[in-house]
Structure formats: structure tokens, C-alpha cells
Amino acid sequence: MKSRQIPYKIYLSEEEMPRYWYNVKAHMKIQHEPFLNPETGKPCTKADLQPVFCDECIDQELNTTDERIEIPEGIRSFYRTFRPSPVVRAYFLEEQLGTCAEIYYKFEGSNTSGSHKLNSAAAQAYYAKKQGLKSLTTETGAGQWGTALAMASAFYGLNLDVYMVKVSSEQKPYRKEVIRTYGANVIPSPSDTTAAGRKILEEFPGTGGSLGCAISEAVEKATTTPSCRYVLGSVLDHVLLHQTVIGLESKTALDKYGITPDVIIGCCGGGSNFGGLIAPYMGDRLQGKNDIEFIGVEPASCPSLTRGKYAYDFCDSAKTTPLAKMYTLGCGFMPSANHAGGLRYHGMSPIISRLYHDGYIKALSVEQSKVFDAAVSFAKCEGILPAPESAHAIRVAIDEALKCKQTGEKKKILFGLTGTGYFDLAAYKKYNDGEMSDYIPTDKDLAKGFATIPEIKA
Ligand SMILES: *Cc1c(COP(=O)(O)O)cnc(C)c1O
């Protein structure tokens, strides 16, 4: 029977907040292949990456041996403005589903940026400041990442230029205003402030822009401005490392009640929240200490893990970044205009890709209308209006709980609730008006994307 001794919310004290991030690579027997410099075809060295990224982040990116990496007090102090975050027992959802499963979720949406992205924005801005840099650049699509980095840059006193995909900056004027309120400069991309932007504008006047183009502009701006670096919100190993606070806090909270999940579920865009949530549990699994099922969930419209290829590819569509070995749909793949902006990425974290390739992770893809069905039933009983990205994890958590109802299994399900959906009301409007469409790329659509994967022997 359900034990009511487990509270609705398990809170940690500030003292219990993690002092170390957990580097899952230290326990991976097979590491992912190194990033390649596209000009030489050789593995990227620290010197290759230094013009673009902060030194400390590069060291973390290349670190495959240290299991624990200390979270400096300067970052922990900023974390205290929004952490620790609660693990919630979804009693109301369980009741509504009539399931015998126990459902838990880790809620990362209780900060102004509205998502987990602040965990890495805080760290990256801190290291930039420590290195004596003056400014940062980045790109943003949906806007969660731009907001998070604007908050962190304001906290640490850094200037920030956010290249925001032009259509998004027009469709989400309030998101843009939050970013500006935290003091960052929002530049609709493509812009005339960079050579990359000017070239695109010349070729495609009136274009609404793309994430790939915004990345190229942000990287160019960083490498041509003194004392400036570029910051990325997902995909890379050091971003996943920073996100392990999610998994570490979850484990500390659940351990207090002797709970080990049977299934852990997260949505996958670039893989950082899912990687961060599962990391400490995956570490135990790699050492043979548990048998947890890990499920990454992606949109059917952008199915990098479930239908992609495991290959070296560019991280951006303008083909300017290093090459990463990952599950990819091709850097030229254009996902349909689905409503989960944070999951519209052609590739996947090299760590998650490796673990998936080696059979430690399962992946599922789900259709948009079913995702919103889940989002709305969750909102009605648990109260939180989820981000469309997060609702992908909710969908699969509900499906797992319904399976338990059939089989009578009392599984413990943990999922990551990465953020809130207040800036996604245009998407909810579509759903409420009965106008939400599902889009699943055909094999022919995918072939077009695959054709943009570069030829590399490795
Ligand atoms: C960005 C984002 C995601 C996806 O990014 P990951 O790197 O895969 O974690 C998921 N949920 C929300 C709310 C986001 O903003």
C-alpha cells in the first residue's frame, strides 16, 4: 500500500546541496570519441578550443578521470538563489491514473529563467569572470538558455550579447524583454553585426534565421572581440557535468527515504538535463550496483537517438564548430516547427550517445499532441504548467505508470520536470483550439538531413 510517510515534497537544506559535480566519464569503460578539429581532422586540443571557450570549461570538457569536480563556493552561493530544488511525489497524478506505481519528479522550473539551464549558466559565467573576461556571447532559440545566461551574467557582472533567432525574437517578445531586463543585449539573428550574418542576409533577405546561423554569429563575435568568449547551453560534456546537481540532489533526497528508482525518465534536446539527472545513478549502474532502466524521450519530429546515425557531425548547421561523434540527423536537418524549441536539435550529447550506443540507455520518441495531452493532465492534478520540452518526460512517465496498472508492478518512477511553460502559451493555445498537428519526418526527409553529415573516417 502507498506509504503516506513520504511527503509530497522532499526538500534538502542548503547544507545538503552538492559540493561536487559528478563526472560520469570516470566510470565509463568506453569513452566517447574525441572532438575533431574540422580543419586538421585531428582531435581538438586545449589550444584549439581556447579562442572560443573559457579555460576551466575546456579542462572539464577533457577530464575523463576525476569522478568528483568541486563546485566552487562562488557558484554554490549563486545556486542558493534557486537551489536546492524539490523532489515531488506525484500523489495526485498517481491517484488520477489509478496506478500502483510510485511517481516522483525533480522540479527545475522554480527560477526566473524557468528551466534547469541556469545550473550551467551559473558555472560558465563564474569561470568567465574568474578568468578575467569582460563579456560573453551566445545564441538562443526558444529563449530559456538566453534568459538563464542573462541572469548569470548579471549576477557575476559580465556583458552579454544574445543572438536570438529572428522569428523567435518576434514570436516571443516577452522572453526577449526578460533577457533585456537582466541587462543583456538581444540581437535578432541574422544581423549585420557579423560577417556570417551579413552573408546570410545577402543570400536570403528577409529570412527568419536559424539556430545554426545564430551560433555562427555568436562564435564569430566571441572570437573577434577581446576578452570575450562563447558559451553553449547543452550538448558538451562540461554542460552535462554542471547539470549533475539535478541527479545528485535527487539521489540525496530519495536516499533519505530508502528509495531507488526502477525507471528514470528525461526529455532529450542536447541531452544535458537527462544526462545530469541520471549521472549518479548511471555511475552506480556502470559499477554493477543497480539495474535501473534509463529512458531518454525525444519528439517524433526530431528523433536523433531513435532514428539518427552514430557519426561524426558538426554541432551547428553553419559547419563552423568542432566535429562530435554523436547520434545525429545531420547538421542540415530542419525539424518541423514543433512547439518544444529546446528539443529541436539535430544532434545529441556525445556522452548520452555513447551510453545509448553501448545499451545502457533506452530512447523513445513521442508525438506532439500526445505530449500536450500529458502536459494538460499533469497541470490539472499537480498544479505546475510544464514546459512542452518537459512534457515529453511526463508523457512517458504516465505511460510507464499505466503499464504498471496493467501488470500490478509497483515500480518507482523518477522523471525530470525541466521547466515551466509560461512563455509557451501560443503552443497551449494551439492545443486548446484543437489545432495541434503531429509531424513525423519520412525516411526521405531524414535522408536529406543524413546527406549533410560530413564524410569522416574515424
Ligand atoms: C533546453 C531545454 C531542454 C532540453 O535541453 P537538454 O540539454 O536536452 O536538457 C529541456 N527542457 C527545457 C525546459 C529546456 O529549456
Atom number of ligand 1 nearest to Cα 109: 13
- Cα-to-centroid distance, 253 and ligand 1 (Å): 22
Which of 108, 111, 139, 144 has the most ligand 1 atoms within 8 A of CB, as the residue to mutate?
144
| Torsion of Cα atoms, 169 then 303 then 213 then 445, to 10° | -110
Residue 346 is given by DSSP the state S
pLDDT at residue 345, rounded to an integer: 87
pLDDT score recorded for residue 20? 98
pLDDT band at 339 (very low <50, low <70, confident <90, very high): confident
Q: Which of 72-81, 102-111, 131-140, 325-334 has the lowest average pLDDT?
A: 325-334
Nearest CA to ligand 1 atom 9: 273
Q: What is the dihedral of CA 257, 261, 266, 270, to 10 degrees?
A: 100
Residue 314's DSSP bridge partners are 323
Taking each helix axis from N to C end, the angle separating 272-286 and 244-255, rounded to the nearest 10 degrees, works out to: 50
Biggest CA-to-CA distance, the chain:
66
**Across residues 206-219, what is the average pLDDT?**
87
Give 145 Cα–ligand 1 centroid separation in angstroms. 9
Residue pLDDT, tens place only, 313-333: 998 877 888 999 999 999 988
Which ligand 1 atom sits closest to the C-alpha of 234?
7
The closest-lying atom of ligand 1 relative to the alpha carbon of residue 276 is: 9
Residue nearest to atom 10 of ligand 1 (CA): 389
Q: Give the separation between CA 421 and CA 109, rounded to whole angstroms.
A: 9
Strand (E) or helix (H) holding 407 = helix 388-407
Q: How far apart are CA 85 and CA 107, in angstroms?
A: 6
Q: So what's the pLDDT on residue 1?
A: 43
d(CA 305, CA 279): 18
- Is residue 334 over pLDDT 90? no
> What's the CA gap between 43 and 36, in Å, rounded?
4
Q: Whose CA is nearest to atom 4 of ligand 1?
A: 269
Whole-number percent of the chain with pLDDT over 90? 86
Percent of the chain with pLDDT over 70: 99
In this structure, which residue's CA is closest to atom 14 in ligand 1? 342
Q: What is the mean pLDDT of residues 235-239?
A: 97
Q: Does 201 score more than 50 pLDDT?
A: yes
The C-alpha cell 564524410 sits at 455
pLDDT(88) > 80 = yes
For residue 235, which atom of ligand 1 is closest to its CA? 7
CA distance 144 to 341: 9
The residues pairing with 162 across neighbouring beta strands, listed in sequence order, are 138, 186
245-290 per-position pLDDT tens digit: 999 999 999 999 999 999 999 999 999 999 999 999 999 999 999 9
d(CA 249, CA 2): 23
C-alpha 266 – ligand 1 centre gap (Å) = 10
If one residue of 365, 395, 418 were mutated to test the ligand 1 pocket, choosing by the most ligand atoms within 8 A of its CB, it would be 418
Mean pLDDT over 392-420 rounds to 98
**Ligand 1 centre and the CA of 149: distance in Å?**
14
User: 194 pLDDT band (50/70/90 cuts)?
Assistant: very high
pTM for the model stands at 0.96
- pLDDT digit string, tens, across residues 437-446: 888 999 999 9
User: Which protein residues touch ligand 1 with a CB less than 6 Å away?
Assistant: 115, 117, 144, 234, 267-274, 342-343, 387, 389-390, 418-419
Cα–Cα distance for residue pair 81/129, rounded to 1 Å: 19
